[in-house]
Amino acid sequence: MVEILSAAGMRAREAAAIAGGAVTGLALMERAGAEVVAAIFEVWPELGPDLARDPAAEPRRAAVLCGPGNNGGDGFVVARLLHDLGWRVEVFLLGDPARLPPDARRNHDLWAARGPVRPYLDAGAAGAFALDPALWREDSLLVDALFGIGLTRPLRAGLAAARLSRDTEFRLPQGAPRGQVAGCRVVAVDIPSGLCADTGRVLRAPDLPTDWAPFTADLTVTFHAPKIGHLTAEGPAHCGRLVVRPIGL
């Protein structure tokens, strides 16, 4: 029988493994990020490390959106691994690096030795996350690592920022279209940000525009077991292809 977990159930698994000394949180995060990258290449082998690729060819591109918790930490791992495979990676952080939890902070710092961390939102600005649509292609990746199973409060308008899905425009929070990103592939780390892992519903604050939706992923890579939110309510419409990968729990 397939095991389906709540957020609390997943946390209990992780906590038991860490408390039993079988693994550290940092090792779990490294595995989670590595499994996301492995799943990307498994689902889209045409994106995989290709030693025969023309060294003069333009590198593939990824934008990684990292949130303020350990989901963001997974994102920093993904960014580092793709970078080290020769991808051109842009990283955006929602929040203050100094307030990241320790494992996420460690992976932030490992990334920061490789490239800049740009703000996902600018104080007072409509939104800092913006990519030049001309540079984004069908083999580019947008990695959504803003929130995972730790999304506990309703999303407010200011945080909802850009919405992006394949073949649609991406928008700033106020809804102004910013351009087309033709065919860019969207990968959600653990769960598309904005969905509650226990209900599959978007956690909406009253000020969230009614037409706002979480990133619609082409691929969602979750860890150990599917969560209730992947399979119910608004979950299936936002997850795209759901891949469950082991992380050693």
Ligand X SMILES: NC(=O)C1=CN([C@@H]2O[C@H](COP(=O)(O)OP(=O)(O)OC[C@H]3O[C@@H](n4cnc5c(N)ncnc54)[C@H](O)[C@@H]3O)[C@@H](O)[C@H]2O)[C@@H](O)CC1
Task: Give, as ranges, the residues between 154 and 183 that touch ligand X (CB under 6 A).
Answer: 154-155, 159
Give the closest residue to 3 by CA, choosing from 185, 244, 183, 177.
Answer: 244
- With respect to ligand X, which residue has the nearer C-beta, 171 or 227? 227
Burial of 116 (0-12, 13-18, 19+ CB in 10 A): exposed
Binding string, residues 84-123; x marks residues near ligand X by CB under 6 A: -----------------x----------------------
The answer on whether 18 is annotated among ligand-binding residues is no
Taking the complex as a whole, the smallest distance from the CB of residue 15 to ligand X amounts, in Å, to 8
- With respect to ligand X, which residue has the nearer C-beta, 167 or 207? 207
- With respect to K ion, which residue has the nearer C-beta, 173 or 194? 194
Give the closest residue to 33 by CA, choosing from 140, 137, 149, 187.
Answer: 187
Under the binding rule (CB under 6 A), the answer on residue 149 touching ligand X is yes
Between CA 230 and CA 236 the distance in angstroms is 6
Residue 215 contacts by C-beta under 8 Å, 6 or more apart in sequence? 142, 144, 163, 164, 165, 186, 188, 192, 193, 194, 238
Under the binding rule (CB under 6 A), the answer on residue 82 touching ligand X is no
Under the binding rule (CB under 6 A), the answer on residue 198 touching ligand X is no
One-letter amino acid at 142 equals L
List of residues contacting K ion (CB under 5 A): 144, 188-189, 193
List of residues contacting ligand X (CB under 6 A): 14, 25, 28-29, 32, 67-74, 101, 147-155, 159, 189-190, 223, 247
